């Protein structure tokens, strides 16, 4: 048998390293890859079933075109590219490139497509884009931006106290080797876990302190926790004095909090709140993880802020076992967005300027060293500067370290029709349909969707479907004929993540951060193409660059990395517009010198350069040394050559403060608008249920057999095939519902038949459905099978965070009706 092949699991953001025995085209045997520097051999049970993603009736193998009667015609790739290129160009000509909206660009493990898509966005002059982060993380990103301008994560492996707020890592993971870490903490009498969750989740059941908050009341609970710490003077005064600005205002706001009253509102005993607060304040190290339980619920941006105050006022940052800021290989959100001419705010402008100075210096050095003739050109520096600026504008969304999302990266921008706040460069997901279903002259006219299933994953699926149908053009790239694909004008079949080079940009580790370029472990399924080739075919058809430019860059690429780098930068300097299509140029030139199977990874040369320039010292410590473009070249080569993950930055805990994007390296902790909300909490709204909809539905719980919509075949679920609705015994009895029996679930937006699971995990008044169900799967005889409820047939667009516009998937007012047996039979 052939050697096992190294790759990674693509089901959640951890992307654990795996090795696979490939039999024919089957992923036959899957094991954890001990050589992977982040996961060290760990996987959960879901990875074992990856063959159900790779192979099955869901795979599409030919481009599809929607006909007026709603059916789909199979067309060849040439026709698809011709027609789509022509239609995109027509929308650009007639309506403007800013009317072409890009959505998605990667699930949990495939972000190379979005890196390559930047070139198409650049060529079309598209300005607006979004992805799933804008329905969960943008509130947190906004707060992060205000506090320190970066993304934080915790060193859970070494923390004494682990705090999980609306987060169930036993099922959802999100940090390496989550289950072994949780087990260790639970077994260690010196360490504690504090879980804030209305439900006795698997993680809550292991916790020493489970604060069983009422759904949606986290703001009062979190404010009470911070209140106790401030009022009992348990703060880390030294840390606050040295590392923060604005504490007086924070202090005053929390001194005034009525802990007793807030405890009452939150539904948690005051004594339990005080005990948890004291445990946090007296621990030697604490890490906090907040996730969907609060990010998709009332007051989510405020709660993100309160969570962060909890670890900031207790000084839990920048030491082993605490919170940290980290380098990034590439940014997932943020950046000015290609083609965006908007004015940039202070912090962002400064960060960009610093990076640009470094880029220009590196480019000028490289050019003088390798192309002496060019170095004598008058005003070379100015030209290089113009080129570097254009390149930066294109690559900023990919380049790590210097932006860190946040308020900055939105630049105060708003969406064109509804005026929704753009955070991290992303349009709030709940606003997308309204940016289309209107007669406003600036409405979006075309939508490009890659690696995402928004007609299933965004609130109010019916309205999203209507929006797709209202467009002049919609194109979906996917491996499957998804709920979104079946609303699109064109569907393009992608090679799977095991058939092409792929990578995740979820690289959040510290002090050693890891990037893994997965090598294809088999050829693309016949009829499918990797995304970089799809983008290249379109751009070739659109004639975006002179053949002579490509020829010159190809010659340079054949000579070597240094010559290529210098020529590339000089070329972009001479014609800054080329910076906007940099990923395409790299694919067409440098890409042709790589192993043909890795051509789609050529864009990573640009990302490696940006990463090396913006994290120079840490990249050097990781072994990528030299001057000019050399460290970036070396990093790129290591990534291309290594079968597994590569440590790209090696930091020390002293360096962590360099990631604070403030001149004084201090956290700016007083956020006035949110402190106003803290002051208003005593009278703020607490209820969204009504007599008509008295229950709070959490629409989308992570269970052992859920994985967003990546696994479509319902047979992958060994248990809970139908994704039952969990309900407390108390509610079930009151509503005359029985375990295993059916019920009708009704919300303001829709209704569905569910199967009941009476569960002692649930609090009375709170019910839960899993995420990612209700997917159609072809049976092979022309019909389809489906299991469970598609949660967003039940959700609405109006219930959303007032700052970030993120949906309240965890807080959907609902009612349950018994279905009489007579009706069923
Ligand atoms: N198995 C599996 N793992 C996954 C995924 C998957 O689909 N399946 N998806 C991945 C993705 S994309 C993400 S974003 C993460 C999400 O990971 P999590 O956020 O951990 O997942 P959820 O189960 O959606 O929500 C977490 C908890 O929030 C609780 N909750 C509900 N309402 C409230 C509330 O009002 N307050 C509080 N404090 N808690 C509340 C729920 O009871 C639940 O235990 O998981 C990732 N991992
Ligand atoms: N009600 C409710 N809604 C939710 C949630 C919830 O808890 N409740 N959770 C939300 C969260 S946190 C998230 S992150 C989103 C996730 O929602 P989406 O961003 O829509 O993500 P996925 O379901 O992972 O969709 C990934 C798509 O990529 C396709 N795909 C897989 N591999 C490839 C490939 O190599 N190339 C291409 N082009 N496509 C590929 C898959 O077939 C799938 O259609 O859902 C959100 N929606
Ligand atoms: S689902 Fe997540 S935790 Fe489980 S093996 Fe895959 S990447 Fe690792
Ligand atoms: Mo997510």
Q: How far is the CA of 470 from the centre of ligand 4 (A)?
A: 27
Q: Which range scores top for mean pLDDT: 101-110, 181-190, 395-404, 566-575?
A: 181-190
Which ligand 3 atom minimizes the distance to the CA of 14?
A: 7
What is the 134 CA–ligand 4 centroid distance (Å)?
10
Distance 98 CA to ligand 4 centre (A): 27
**At residue 340, does pLDDT exceed 50?**
no
Tell me the ligand closest to 750's alpha carbon. 2
Find the mean pLDDT for residues 666-683: 98
The Å distance, Cα 500 to ligand 4 centre, comes to 24
Task: Please state which of the ranges 196-210, 216-230, 570-584 shows the lowest mean pLDDT.
Answer: 570-584
Q: Which two tokens stand for residue 195?
A: 């879980």
Which candidate, 508, 546, 509, 811, places its Cα nearest to that of 685? 811
pLDDT in tens, 476-501: 999 999 999 999 999 999 999 999 99
pLDDT above 90 (res 780)? no
Contact 285, 321 (CB under 8 A): yes
Ligand 1 atom index nearest CA of 702: 23
CA dihedral 557, 558, 563, 567 (to 10 degrees): -40
CA of 172 to the centre of ligand 3 (A): 9
Question: What does the pLDDT read at residue 782?
Answer: 84
CA of 458 to the centre of ligand 2 (A): 10
- Name the residue with the closest Cα to ligand 3, atom 5: 43
Closest to 108 in 3D by CA, of 452, 414, 463: 452
| Closest atom of ligand 3 relative to the 18 alpha carbon | 5
Question: pTM for the complete prediction?
Answer: 0.95
Mean pLDDT, residues 324-353 taken together: 57
Shortest-distance atom of ligand 2 to CA 795 = 1
Does 822 score more than 70 pLDDT?
A: no
List the structure tokens of 16: 């654990």
Q: Which pLDDT band, with edges at 50, 70 and 90, does 574 fall under?
A: confident
Q: Token pair 């009498």 is at which residue?
A: 189
How buried is residue 157: exposed, middle or buried, by Cβ count under 10 Å (0-12/13-18/19+)? Answer: middle
Average pLDDT score, the chain: 92
DSSP H/E element including 195: strand 192-196
pLDDT digits (tens, 9 = 90+) for 596-607: 999 999 999 999
- pLDDT given for residue 410 in this prediction: 43
Kindly report the protein residue whose alpha carbon is nearest to atom 2 of ligand 3. 12
Average pLDDT (524-531) is 98
In a 10 Å sphere around its CB, with 0-12 CB exposed, 13-18 middle and 19+ buried, how is residue 620 labelled?
A: middle
Ligand 2 neighbours, Cβ below 6 Å, are 107, 110, 113, 132, 135-136, 292, 450-454, 457, 477-480, 482, 494, 496-497, 531, 699-700, 708-710, 771, 791-792, 795, 809
> Residue 404 pLDDT more than 50?
no
Q: Residue 180: nearest ligand to its CA?
A: 3
Question: Which of 14, 31, 109, 502, when mutated, tests ligand 3's pocket best, judged by the most ligand atoms within 8 Å of its CB?
Answer: 14
Instruction: Mark 207-246 as b/e (b = at least 16 C-beta within 10 Å).
Output: bbbbbbbbbbbbbbbbbbbbbbbbbeeebbeebbeebbeb
Q: What number is the average pLDDT over the span 325-337?
A: 69
Residue nearest to atom 7 of ligand 2 (CA): 700
Testing ligand 1's pocket by substitution, the residue of 132, 166, 791 carrying the most ligand atoms inside 8 A of its CB is 166
Distance from the alpha carbon of residue 177 to the mean position of ligand 3, in angstroms: 9
Which atom of ligand 1 is found nearest the CA of 696? Answer: 32
Give the ligand at the shortest distance from the Cα of 452: 2
* Stretch 36-43: mean pLDDT: 93
Residues near ligand 3 (Cβ within 6 A): 9, 11-12, 14-16, 43-44, 46-47, 173
The stretch 572-593 carries a mean pLDDT of 94
Q: What is the pLDDT of residue 335?
A: 42
Can you give the length of the chain in residues? 825
**Residue 391 has what pLDDT?**
61
- Residue 380's pLDDT is what? 63
Ligand nearest to the CA of 9: 3
H or E element in which residue 469 lies: helix 461-470
The neighbour count for residue 345, using CB atoms within 10 Å, is 16
Nearest residue by C-alpha to atom 26 in ligand 1: 167
- Concatenate the DSSP letters of all residues of 663-688 into one string: TT--EE---HHHHHHHHHGGGS----
Query: What domains can be seen in the chain, in order of their start residue?
Result: 5-54 (3.30.200.210), 64-135+361-651 (3.40.50.740), 152-325+665-681 (3.40.228.10), 687-818 (2.40.40.20)
Nearest CA to ligand 3 atom 7: 15
> Rounded CA gap, 481 and 622, in Å?
42
| Least confident span in 124-138, 385-399, 417-431, 645-659 | 385-399
Is 526 in contact with 495 (CB distance < 8 Å)?
no
Mutate to test the pocket of ligand 3, among 7, 8, 10, 11 (most ligand atoms within 8 A of CB): 11
**Is there a cis peptide before residue 87, judged by omega within 30 degrees of 0?**
no
Q: Which value, in Å, is the radius of gyration of the alpha carbons in the chain? A: 26
Percentage of residues in the chain having pLDDT higher than 70: 89
Q: Which ligand is nearest to the CA of 807?
A: 2
What is the rounded average pLDDT of the residues 445-449? 98
Q: How many A from CA of 133 to the centre of ligand 4?
A: 7
Confidence of residue 325 (pLDDT cuts 50, 70, 90): very high
Q: Is the dihedral of CA 539, 545, 550, 553 positive or negative?
A: negative
Q: Which residues contact 396 (CB under 8 A, 6 or more apart)?
A: 331, 334, 335, 336, 352, 403
> Given ligand 1 and candidates 139, 267, 292, 718, which is best to mutate, with the most ligand atoms within 8 Å of its CB?
292
* Alpha carbon of 824 to ligand 3 centroid (Å): 39
Q: Measured in angstroms, how far is the CA atom of residue 320 from the centroid of ligand 1?
A: 26
Share of the chain above pLDDT 90, in %: 85
Ligand nearest to the CA of 44: 3
Are the C-beta atoms of residues 62 and 68 closer than 8 Å to each other?
no
Q: Ligand 1: residues within 6 Å at CB?
A: 12, 136, 165-168, 171-174, 196-199, 201, 213, 215-216, 218, 291-294, 297, 698, 700-702, 706-708, 771-772, 810
pLDDT of residue 366: 62
| Ligand 3 atom with minimal separation from the 109 CA | 7
Cα of 132 to ligand 4 centre, how many Å? 7
Mean pLDDT to the nearest integer, 404-433 = 81
pLDDT (tens digit per residue) in 280-314: 999 999 999 999 999 999 999 999 999 999 999 99
CA of 704 to the centre of ligand 3 (A): 11
Residue 457 CB: number of other CB atoms within 10 A? 25
């Amino acid at each position: 048998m052939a050697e096992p092949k190294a790759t990674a699991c693509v089901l959640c953001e951890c992307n654990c390293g795996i090795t696979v025995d490939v039999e024919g085209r089957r992923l036959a045997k899957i094991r954890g890859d001990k050589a992977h520097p982040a996961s060290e051999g760990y996987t959960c049970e879901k990875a074992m079933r990856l063959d159900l993603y790779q192979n099955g009736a869901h795979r599409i193998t030919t481009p599809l075109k929607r006909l007026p009667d709603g059916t789909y015609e199979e067309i060849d790739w040439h026709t698809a590219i011709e027609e789509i290129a022509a239609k995109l160009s027509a929308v650009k000509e007639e309506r403007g490139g800013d009317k072409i909206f890009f959505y998605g660009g990667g699930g949990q493990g495939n972000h190379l497509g979005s890196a390559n898509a930047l070139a198409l966005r650049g060529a079309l002059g598209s300005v607006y884009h979004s992805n799933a982060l804008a329905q969960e993380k943008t509130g947190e990103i906004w707060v992060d931006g205000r506090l320190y301008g970066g993304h934080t994560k915790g060193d859970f492996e070494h923390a004494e106290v682990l705090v999980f707020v609306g987060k169930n890592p036993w099922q959802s993971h999100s940090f390496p080797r989550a289950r072994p870490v949780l087990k260790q903490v639970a077994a260690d009498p010196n360490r504690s876990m504090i879980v804030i969750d209305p439900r006795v989740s698997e993680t809550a059941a292991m916790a020493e302190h489970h604060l069983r908050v009422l759904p949606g009341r986290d703001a009062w609970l979190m404010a009470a926790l911070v209140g106790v710490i401030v009022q009992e003077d348990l703060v880390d005064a030294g840390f606050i004095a040295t590392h923060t600005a604005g504490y007086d205002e924070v202090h005053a706001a929390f001194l005034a909090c009525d802990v007793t009253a807030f405890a009452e509102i939150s539904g948690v005993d005051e004594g339990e709140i005080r005990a948890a607060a004291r445990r946090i304040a007296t621990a030697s190290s604490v890490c906090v993880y907040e996730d969907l339980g609060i990010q998709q619920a009332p007051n989510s941006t405020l709660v993100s802020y309160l969570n962060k105050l909890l670890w900031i006022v207790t000084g839990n940052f920048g030491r082993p076992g605490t919170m940290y800021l980290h380098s990034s290989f590439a940014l997932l959100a943020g950046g000015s967005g290609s083609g965006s001419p908007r004015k940039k705010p202070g912090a962002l402008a400064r960060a960009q300027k610093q990076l640009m100075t470094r880029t220009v210096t590196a480019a000028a050095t490289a050019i003088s060293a390798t192309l002496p003739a060019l170095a004598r050109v008058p005003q070379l520096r100015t030209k290089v500067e113009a080129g570097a600026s254009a390149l930066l504008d294109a690559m900023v969304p990919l380049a790590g370290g210097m932006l860190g999302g946040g308020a900055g990266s939105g630049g105060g921008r708003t969406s064109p029709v509804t005026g929704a706040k753009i955070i991290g460069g992303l349009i709030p997901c709940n606003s997308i349909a309204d940016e289309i279903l209107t007669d406003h002259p600036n409405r979006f006219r075309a939508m490009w969707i890659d690696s995402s299933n928004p007609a299933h994953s965004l609130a109010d699926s019916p309205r999203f479907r209507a929006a797709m149908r209202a467009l002049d053009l919609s194109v979906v790239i996917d491996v499957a004929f998804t709920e979104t694909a079946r609303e699109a004008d064109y569907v393009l079949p992608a090679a799977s993540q095991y058939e092409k080079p792929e990578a995740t940009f979820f690289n959040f580790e510290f002090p050693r951060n890891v990037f893994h370029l997965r090598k294809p472990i088999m050829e693309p399924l016949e009829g499918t193409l990797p995304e970089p080739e799809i983008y290249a075919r379109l751009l070739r058809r659109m004639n975006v660059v002179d053949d002579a430019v490509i020829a010159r860059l190809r010659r340079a690429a054949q000579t070597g990395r240094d010559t290529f780098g210098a020529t590339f930068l000089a070329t972009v300097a001479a014609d800054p517009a080329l910076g906007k299509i940099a990923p395409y140029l790299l694919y067409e030139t440098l890409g042709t010198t790589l192993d043909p199977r890795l051509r789609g990874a050529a864009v990573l040369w640009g990302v490696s350069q940006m990463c090396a320039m913006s994290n120079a010292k840490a990249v050097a410590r990781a072994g990528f040394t030299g001057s000019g473009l050399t460290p970036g070249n070396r990093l790129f080569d290591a990534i291309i050559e290594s079968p597994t993950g590569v440590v790209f930055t090696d930091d020390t805990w002293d360096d962590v403060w360099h990631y604070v994007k403030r001149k004084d390296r201090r956290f700016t902790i007083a956020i006035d608008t949110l402190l106003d909300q803290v002051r208003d909490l005593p009278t703020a709204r607490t209820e969204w249920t009504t007599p008509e909809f008295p229950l709070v539905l959490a629409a989308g719980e992570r269970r052992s057999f859920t994985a967003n919509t990546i696994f479509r075949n319902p047979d992958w679920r060994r248990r809970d095939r139908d994704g039952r609705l969990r309900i407390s015994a108390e509610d079930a009895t009151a509503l005359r519902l029985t375990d295993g029996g059916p019920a009708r679930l009704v919300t303001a937006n829709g209704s569905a038949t569910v199967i009941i699971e009476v569960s002692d995990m649930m609090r009375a008044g709170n019910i839960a459905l899993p995420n990612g169900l209700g997917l159609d799967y072809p049976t092979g005889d022309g019909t389809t099978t489906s299991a469970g409820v598609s949660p967003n047939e039940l959700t609405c667009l109006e219930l959303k965070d007032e700052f970030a516009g993120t949906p309240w998937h965890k807080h959907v007012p609902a009612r349950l009706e018994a279905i009489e047996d007579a009706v069923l039979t």
